[in-house]
Amino acid sequence: MTIHPVQTDMQFKNYIGGKWIESRSGKTFASHNPANGELIGTLQASDTRDVDDAVNAASIAFEKWRKVPAPKRAELIYRVAEILRARKQEMGELLTREMGKVLPEALGDVQEAIDMALYMAGEGRRLNGMLVPSELPSKWAMAVRDPLGVVAAITPWNFPIAIPAWKMFPALICGNTVIWKPASDTPVLAARMIEIYEQAGFPPGVVNLVTGGGGTVGDALVAHPQVRLITFTGSTDIGRAVSIKAAQNLKRVSLEMGGKNAIIVMDDADLDLAVEGILWSAFGTSGQRCTACSRVIAHHAIKKQLLDKLVPRTAALRLGDGLLATTDVGPVINHRAAQKIHEYTEIARGEGAAILVGGAIATEGDLARGSFYQPTIFDNVTPTMRVAQEEIFGPSLSILAAQSLDDAIAINNRTNFGLSTSVYTSNVNRAFEAMRDVTTGIVYINAGTIGSEVQLPFGGTRGTGNGHREGGGAVVLDTFCEWKTIYVDYSGRLQRAQIDTDALVKTVL
């Protein structure tokens, strides 16, 4: 494995109208490596004037871009996939340095963007509309997909390459132009990604980057009347605020928010398989996935046996810099996050949970230079405890007991989130009952709660989303398109729908 040379103290600019430019604010902010505090780069701390410039550039570009045939738009997206594939290792390493996840997962994050690019580029030759019979003779009835205009993508740091790809490739293939506001913890990756769009040959103004705070750049994008769609992934609180603010201009908002995902382990499950799924889903990405498993709902008959296998495996996980092959679990995104995760440990303790493993910020040796949290398991958790209800977004797992499958599903469904659920069972009837009765947007049987694939809808119910889905072909296109219904009457006479139907059919016959 080659580790590419580390460049530090690099200054990255905004990308507006095809030019790299400094913010009008004259201010910058820094991005650091959560494993050791290393400076990754300085970025523009933009303000509303930069957002205005970007909206202006994206609006002008839209008039040309919407007329570029979709198969041609697709060629540019294919090009992004090719460049990203060639630079996968380098981008993966940068991802580990800026965000912290271990390198194999970082490469997976980049791969997910490559997959999405290839998939959406394929839509360039599809973008199916509708052609249906008219009720009148000599008349065509059809519907086509129109782009919305300027789309704002507000993206999180936990999948800094994949999640923007889920939003931007569908937006672009449909003919929208995009302004990207990346999370302030991972902006260097965004700037590098924009270089790839530039290299792929996207025309000026079609893809724009404005870095800076959510309260300034994000709010300005949400409020701007010319931004027609906000596609946001982040916390439920911010998503709700985005939705309320955007409603004033009646704009479309696609939200992907929190999760409180559970793995249900039945008494007939393969426990070794379940343990692998739990470790991967709860502690992969240091638990910082909205699909992460933060609850295990174990059938009471096997709970002890399951914990006897799970706890030592959890205790053996090695924390460290994600670039090292010896690391199982990387840092959490920053010190604030580690503090917040620890507050939940205190809450669990206060609520009467038993801490079986972990439960502290990790500071041994080199870990003190970064923000690390020990993989943690809370036992004796009951469904109404805060640690069983609230999203922690860290390597903290609550164990609950259930009396039966129905009981487990009821516990699973009773939270304010609804993203992903997994059920371990070897009984096919139980598996199908769970597939019927679980009310989250994603259900896994005999696999963990993480690992969705781009060609299927991704999203959740209740506080996780607002009804939109990402990935999943036609489903995601519906978010990024406006349906335009077109009637073409070539009869040469006035035909009145719903009135002349009978008479005219008689004339034709």
Any idea which residues carry the catalytic annotation? Answer: 256, 290
Closer of 41 and 259 to ligand UN1 (Cβ): 259
Closer of 425 and 452 to ligand UN1 (Cβ): 452
CA-CA distance, 19 to 428, in Å (whole number)? 57
Is 341 in contact with 335 (CB distance < 8 Å)?
no
Residue 394 CA to its chain's centroid (Å): 16
Closer of 159 and 344 to ligand UN1 (Cβ): 159
CB of 450 to ligand UN1, least distance (A): 3
CB of 320 to ligand UN1, least distance (A): 22
State how far the alpha carbon of 252 is from the alpha carbons of 20, 149, 335, 390, 473, in Å: 29, 11, 34, 27, 19
CB of 288 to ligand UN1, least distance (A): 8
Residues at the contact surface with ligand UN1, assessed by CB under 6 A: 112, 158-159, 163, 289-291, 450-452
Q: What do you get for the CA distance between the two ends of the chain, in Å? A: 74
CB of 482 to ligand UN1, least distance (A): 26
Angle, vertex CA 201, rays to CA 155 and CA 162, nearest 5: 25
* Contact residues for 351 (Cβ-Cβ < 8 A; gap 6+): 381, 385, 386, 387
Instruction: Annotate 347-358 with DSSP letters as a single string.
Output: HHHHTT-EEEE-
CA-CA distance, 503 to 256, in Å (whole number)? 51
CB of 230 to ligand UN1, least distance (A): 17
Q: Which residue has the tokens 């902006």?
A: 187
Query: How would you write 452-501 as a 3-class SS string?
Result: CCCCCEECCEECCECCCCEECCHHHHHHHEEEEEEEEECCCCCCCCCCCH
CB of 260 to ligand UN1, least distance (A): 13
Closer of 183 and 206 to ligand UN1 (Cβ): 183
Is 95 in contact with 445 (CB distance < 8 Å)?
no
Three-state DSSP class for residue 381 = coil
Is 211 in contact with 217 (CB distance < 8 Å)?
yes
Closer of 173 and 290 to ligand UN1 (Cβ): 290
CA-CA distance, 416 to 504, in Å (whole number)? 55
CA-CA distance, 434 to 428, in Å (whole number)? 10
What one-letter code names the amino acid at 155?
Answer: T
Cα-based torsion angle of the residue sequence 33, 37, 41, 46 in order, rounded to the nearest 10 degrees: 90
CB of 452 to ligand UN1, least distance (A): 3
Closer of 158 and 243 to ligand UN1 (Cβ): 158
Closer of 79 and 260 to ligand UN1 (Cβ): 260
Closer of 112 and 391 to ligand UN1 (Cβ): 112
Is 344 in contact with 334 (CB distance < 8 Å)?
no
CB of 285 to ligand UN1, least distance (A): 7
Which DSSP letter does residue 284 get?
Answer: G
